A and B are shown apart, each in its own frame.
Chain A
């Protein structure tokens, strides 16, 4: 029995002559919050549409809970809920009516509607026409529509788009709660790493249709090797003293070298001071994920 909620095997997808997804092998473990990261136009939405069978993939390349989506479309979709791009809502119906309509289609009891409206904070605007909702309210309604069937797997395409900081925090907490308390698997796409960093357990980074990194959030952190940054009064003398040590960067009176151990860092400090060099600051630094993300996506 596969432990993966989503698996794609060498998935390639073309729009005409343009390849939008290239040899993509996603592996989303059950119960994870999988941050699907990439700049705009990287192929995130196309991939999500393929996972929903909105775009037809070749057979035996996309598996949802271990079953090929093409041959098990309805059975797979029964276990999924999705918010793709901007929320798909009927503007002439109220928020409540949009949810009632979804309940009708999915054969769900209508008493679930009030629960969903309260979950996404739309109870007060339940009877207002959805077309008159703000972007943030539409986004919340879209999330409620995705959640109403209580799916095991949620695909959320940039769910915090248009939300204010409070709304972003609420959605973030909701995702964590759904994964931890209700054992849901969530694939959430974003172009903002900071957004994903706070919620995701696993990360996939895509650019120009290619998966450049896939692993746990800790594995992503490990990619960023720590360095030692020293600020001194005499940079030439410092460089001469460091000798064959690899200098990663030298900027003004600051020099950056690879971090070996805390002992080595203390020895370096002693060496500089004993040679009459004034050490203003010395400390370890780790490249933040934002820069790491830029590094990874600039590779292809």
Chain B
């Protein structure tokens, strides 16, 4: 447990000055700023909407941008950046020659990537709530304050986060197998596009394609139209995402344990 904690601390220390770390923080901030600006400029059109509808419009606009393409791409980039740090400095060998269990080194990297994705989702939730109320301050006709969106935001972004776990595991494994940018990024991007298409055309096996899960989640959120009672967080897609994450994570460990550090 100690070696897992020190490995995690080290992951944060190593990555705190990298684009992967800052993109996890800045992406929600930038998207929320841009979206608020869009809402403020559309004040006259939106002024008559009730608070619940306003919130749903605001959240779904962000979710539409984020969930469909940006989340998979962010996950693909983050897994690449965190694993590439070790390839770039040829530091796998020093990491595995330290008195730390290989499982801790492997798990800490995985947990850290999951943590970065979680931070992004968490910040989205915080910034959406904050920026929603900020819009009302600037444009009082947009009465965001009449509805409490906390529960739907937590549910939406929680579901979106869980739907990305399968992709994280697969990308993580690919990055451990190949010291290459193009292969994991290219395959990941291709599968994301495939996920978007298959989710949109309603392919019958789409529940088995982890890259389609964020898209499926967004679709389900959109169809719920903000009605929390219609939103089920743990549906088949989410279970599949979690199963896929666990299976690929365990498989990846055996690959890493046998990895030859040439």
Contacts and interface: CB of A to CB of B under 8 A. Distances in A.
Contact of A106 (B85, B90, B96, B98): B98
Interface residues of B, number: 27
A54 B97 contact: yes
Interface in B104-143: none
Contacts of B88: 90-91
A165 B9 CA distance: 39
Interface stretch (B13-21, B186-194, B220-228): B13-21
B65 to A, nearest CB: 29
A92 B81 CA distance: 12
Interface in A253-274: none
A173 B44 CA distance: 79
A100 B179 CA distance: 26
A88 B100 contact: no
Most central of B17, B97, B261 by chain A CB within 10 Å: B97
Contact of B17 (A15, A89, A93): A93
Interface in B77-107: 85, 88-94, 96-101
Contacts of A294: none
A86 interface: yes
B98 A107 contact: no
Given A89-B89, A91-B88, A105-B6, A74 B14 contact: no
B96 A54 contact: yes
A104 B97 contact: no
B99 A84 contact: no
Interface string B164-208: 000000000000000000000000000000000000000000000
Contacts of B151: none
Contacts of A201: none
A80 B260 CA distance: 20
A78 interface: yes
Most central of A77, A89, A93, A97 by chain B CB within 10 Å: A93
A56 B100 CA distance: 16
A53 interface: yes
A52 interface: yes
Nearest to B97: A52
A55 interface: yes
23 contacts: A15-B262, A52-B97, A53-B96, A54-B93, A54-B261, A74-B101, A78-B99, A84-B97, A86-B90, A88-B89, A88-B91, A89-B91, A90-B85, A90-B89, A91-B89, A92-B18, A92-B85, A93-B17, A100-B13, A105-B6, A106-B98, A106-B99, A107-B6
Interface of B: 2, 6-7, 9-10, 13-14, 17-18, 85, 88-94, 96-101, 258, 260-262
